[in-house]
A and B are shown apart, each in its own frame.
Chain A
Amino acid sequence: MSTNTVAMTGNIAVANAMRQINPDVCAAYPITPSTEVMQQFASFVADGEVDTELVAVDSEHSAMSACIGASAAGGRVMTATSANGLALMWEMLYIAAGNRLPIVMTTVNRALSAPINIHCDHSDAMGARDSGWIQLWSENAQEAYDNLIQAVRIAERREVRLPVMVCLDGFIISHSIERMELLDDMQVRNFIGPVKLHYPLLDVDNPVTYGPLDLQDYYMEHKRQQADAMQLAKPVILEVGQEFGKTFGRSYGFFEEYKLKDAELVVVALGSSVGTVKTVVDSLRQQGIAAGVLKLRSFRPFPAKELAAALKSAKAIAVLDRADSFGAYGGPLFSEVRSALFSLEAAPPTVDYIYGLGGRDFGVADVNGVFDDLKMLAKTGKASQEVNYITVRE
């Protein structure tokens, strides 16, 4: 066992990634369940383990504003939040992305109020899906840690220059102790390299303006560039994920294919539930059932073509949504997965399950229920109901 193998919560793992990244500026405003990230990081600052200027602010709106200012000035900038904290940042999320600022933020996923609930679902990050942030999702503490380190490289790449959000499930990952591996401090620093400055505000010899008025004349060209940057992020995500694998032994792509190659019954999901689905898939495989999972890592940019290619030979697909998009036809993940599959000549029948809102447990029996439905769907080719709520009292 490596000497860097530790038992650590997701939050502390994230704080350690931040310590190794050693950002120039961090803004901090607490909200459960992400509070511990900045609390632990503040200890690193106080103990002199990092050179970061920690800015304690009065709200999440101010936290993102401070990040925007510091990032425009030319710093490497990070923060963390959850749920209503992310919602309060709303206005500033778009401004960070529109100004093409490579801020890296940890989002510890939690349900939005009301009713008030501190536990995990994905409604916070899903609400920010159109804000122009890259979103990388994590199954466990190890992935949250690995994703955060890669996020710095992806965000700062010249052709990308977009903020990145690294998502991990509140409490289930943020507050659970799990075995994981910490990388060597120097190796992390070498991997991310020094911050590369592009048009910093503090370069007084080459003055620039951020966020000026931009009307009918150029606004649309700038939005078009933002859309291009998201597409240009795709090869960068792959390249950084492969280099991470070469350097540290764990490779990353747009998604993970778990026993997917010959799978007939497939679940598509995000976050910690994938681990439970994998456990059930192992057991189904022992019974000779061709089950598999596609775990999406990069929700923004959404790898539509690659995902459709990976799912094209499935006989039935269940998308798991830990958030609803009220009034839409299914949850946010379902809408996009199904839309991606529509380009196939013969799209596999695909159904949606909205589950686990507000931390509602999603257990082995629930996963087995989904696969039972998929068996029927594979046979009949048609679901009586395509969008379903599960793990709920009806």
Chain B
Amino acid sequence: MEKQFTEVRWHGRGGQGTVTAAKVLAETALASGKHVQAFPEYGPERMGAPLRAYNRLSANPIAIHCQVTNPDVVVVVDPTLMGSVDVTEGTPDNAIFIINTHEKPAEIKRKLGLGKAQKVYTLNATKIAFDTIKRPLPNTPLLGALAKVAGLIDMDDLISDLKRSFSKKFTEQVVSANLEAVKRAYEEVVGE
């Protein structure tokens, strides 16, 4: 069955803003006229526990309501999960991986045993977050990387949506730190 939508799977730990990232991705895609879904996998919710969140994005209405099992894009928010969770599970031959790590894409590709046509992009999102937001919240930098490499959202849309949604909750300083994080990630993300 040919898919009429793009599916994204996020791997993170409770407290890292993974669910928020999926939400921001949906809102940004919506702002550019797309149809969207964003949903976390609900289990016992604890700080530090592994969790997954998902997106579906499409130019057309999305009716499907089952779990995402074959994601086109995988974002790993916490690199320590790669030892205990199979982040490659169900991914198609041409899947894109965006990994928060200091390691090089080729190294990650080897470690995960990925196929030739599967693409890996890496960035040190935690370091960017520490430098800018001053807290270990790699979610916003990863959105910047996603905007650069996945072709799902536009960087300008992302910036304006982050401004809009974060301004409701946070100080101007926090908002501008997040925007800086996104911009740096956009520049620093590297492929093979």
| Chain A contact residues, CB within 8 Å of chain B | 1, 5-7, 118-119, 139-140, 169, 171-173, 175-179, 272-276, 278-280, 283, 361-364
Contacts and interface: CB of A to CB of B under 8 A. Distances in A.
B47 interface: no
B190 to A, nearest CB: 30
A361 B66 contact: yes
Interface residues of B, number: 25
Interface in B162-178: none
B64 A364 contact: yes
Contacts of A171: 39, 42
A364 B66 contact: yes
A363 B67 contact: yes
Interface stretch (B26-34, B79-87, B104-112): B26-34
Nearest to B41: A171
A173 B65 contact: yes
A5 B69 CA distance: 28
Nearest to A173: B65
A364 B56 CA distance: 15
A371 to B, nearest CB: 12
Contacts of A119: 42
Given A176-B37, A364-B1, A273 B65 contact: yes
Contacts of B39: 171-172, 175-177
B33 to A, nearest CB: 5
Contacts of B30: 5-7, 179
A177 B34 CA distance: 13
A1 B33 contact: yes
Q: Which 9 A-B pairs have the closest CB atoms?
A: A275-B63, A176-B39, A177-B38, A272-B65, A363-B66, A275-B65, A279-B64, A283-B1, A7-B30
B148 interface: no
Contacts of A364: 1, 64, 66
In this complex, the member of A119, A279, A283 whose beta carbon has the largest number of chain B beta carbons within 10 angstroms is: A279
Interface string B11-45: 00000000000110011001001111111101000
A21 to B, nearest CB: 24
Nearest to A119: B42
In this complex, the member of B30, B40, B63, B67 whose beta carbon has the largest number of chain A beta carbons within 10 angstroms is: B63
A278 B37 CA distance: 17
Nearest to A118: B42
Contact of A276 (B22, B27, B42, B66): B66
A176 B67 CA distance: 11
Contacts, number: 73
Interface in B43-82: 61-67, 69
Given A139-B63, A171-B42, A176-B37, 20 more contacts: A6-B30, A7-B23, A7-B27, A7-B36, A176-B38, A176-B65, A177-B23, A177-B36, A178-B36, A178-B62, A179-B36, A275-B62, A276-B63, A276-B66, A279-B4, A280-B1, A283-B1, A361-B67, A363-B67, A363-B69
Contacts of B34: 179
Interface string B115-147: 000000000000000000000000000000000
A1 B66 CA distance: 26
Contacts of A362: 66
A277 B26 CA distance: 23
A171 B64 CA distance: 14
B32 to A, nearest CB: 9
Nearest to B27: A7
In this complex, the member of A169, A177, A276 whose beta carbon has the largest number of chain B beta carbons within 10 angstroms is: A177
Nearest to A171: B42
Nearest to A32: B42
A139 B62 CA distance: 12
B37 A276 contact: no
A5 B23 CA distance: 15
Contacts of B65: 139-140, 169, 172-173, 176, 272-273, 275-276
Contacts of B69: 363
B38 A278 contact: no
B158 to A, nearest CB: 14
A118 B41 CA distance: 12
Contact of A178 (B1, B4, B33, B37): B37
B134 to A, nearest CB: 28
A248 B34 CA distance: 21
A7 B38 contact: yes
Contacts of B66: 273, 276, 361-364
A174 to B, nearest CB: 10
A361 to B, nearest CB: 5
A297 to B, nearest CB: 15
